[in-house]
Structure 1
Amino acid sequence: MNTYETINHVLVHLFNEIWELEEKAIITEEYKDISNNDMHIIEAIGLGEGSTMSVIAKKLNITAGSLTTSMNSLVNKKYAVRERSEQDRRVVHIRLTKKGERAFYHHQEFHRKMTEAVINCLGEEELPVLLKTLDKLSEFFREYPIEQGEKKE
């Protein structure tokens, strides 16, 4: 395999492997009632005072409408709660419950271990190269046209 084929093979398989392993690692007996996607919504809600549906949707790069069904499920399963703002009753904040916070930390721990595994096997001079490479890959995803001929804004 030449360099192009090798990099292509690694990238394609890496994304699938991360998604599959993450699901196996984070959807344990305690969290069997939610999906990997739900865990990423929990991550987007974050810790603290909470956030609005539009802010959470923006973090996930989806519409608030697309988020509604999953959010209803997380509220019903007691991972999150909806609370009306005291300042503006039209605004609804979503925040994690204690159960949701435990799920958040559980997911965060998987990411910590994954990141440390990469960092620990590289030398100090290799880290800037990896950071630059990952930044360029991230830039590619942010700018990739959604449909033929469209530039993502």
Structure 2
Amino acid sequence: MKDNEHFLNKLIVELFNDVLEIEQSALQQGTFSDLSVTEIHTIEAIGMYQPRTMSEVAADLRITVGTLTTAINKLIKKGYVCRNRIEEDRRVVMIQLTKRGKLAYRVHQKFHMDMIRETIEGIDEEEEKVLVTALEKINNYFRKKYDLHNGKE
């Protein structure tokens, strides 16, 4: 059993690192080569449709509002995000994606879907169910163990 534990640990670490490297490589070779993986994940956290507060996005990314402010400033300069204060309370800052930001979001979403489709290509439905169940169990373990997402899905 120890061999399996060692192998699974190695596999999880390699998988995590490989996905990040593949994402960065795909970004650098594509239309959005001016974005980092962190920036595309910030765009993803902002979302497509509704303006969101800085606090909401920072909480989703598990970073401070100050750290998010730095990232948002860069994304505004690059044309991916716009920022507005609401009239009712000028302290509240709302952010949303520009047209270019929405395009980056969609392209990144497609990248992930293509990656998943290629990953499960060639496995049968039963193997796919086993894979999903195993990954859910691993994900739930990490979320509980390290209090990730504060119970949010």
Short-chain TM bin: 0.7 to 0.9
Q: Counterpart in 2 of 1:24?
A: 25
Q: Counterpart in 2 of 1:112?
A: 113
Deviating beyond 6 angstroms after TM superposition, the runs of 4 or more aligned structure 1 residues are none
Q: Counterpart in 2 of 1:33?
A: 34
For the 8 Å contact 2:43–2:101, the answer to whether it is kept is yes
Instruction: Tell me by how many angstroms 1:87 deviates.
Output: 4.4
**Distance in 2 (alpha carbons) for counterparts of 1:88 and 1:121:** 54
Q: Counterpart in 1 of 2:60?
A: 59
**Distance in 2 (alpha carbons) for counterparts of 1:132 and 1:48:** 31
What are the ranges of 5 or more consecutive residues in structure 2 without an aligned counterpart?
Answer: none
- How many pairs were matched up? 148
For the 8 Å contact 2:27–2:36, the answer to whether it is kept is no
Please tell me the residue identity of whatever aligns with 1:107: H
**Distance in 1 (alpha carbons) for counterparts of 2:30 and 2:126:** 41
Q: Counterpart in 1 of 2:99?
A: 98
**Distance in 2 (alpha carbons) for counterparts of 1:95 and 1:32:** 21
Say if 1:31 and 1:44 are closer, same or farther in 2 by CA, change over 3 A.
same
Please tell me the residue identity of whatever aligns with 2:90: R
TM score, norm. by length of structure 2: 0.85
CA RMSD of aligned residues (A): 2.0
Instruction: Tell me by how many angstroms 1:29 deviates.
Output: 5.1
Please tell me the residue identity of whatever aligns with 1:44: A
**Distance in 1 (alpha carbons) for counterparts of 2:122 and 2:11:** 17
TM score, norm. by length of structure 1: 0.85
Please tell me the residue identity of whatever aligns with 1:94: I
Matched, 1:129 2:130: yes
Instruction: Tell me by how many angstroms 1:139 deviates.
Output: 1.7
Matched, 1:73 2:74: yes
SS at match of 1:58: helix
CA displacement 1:9-48 (0-9 Å, x = unmatched): 2111111111101110123353222211001000111101
For the 8 Å contact 1:80–1:94, the answer to whether it is kept is yes
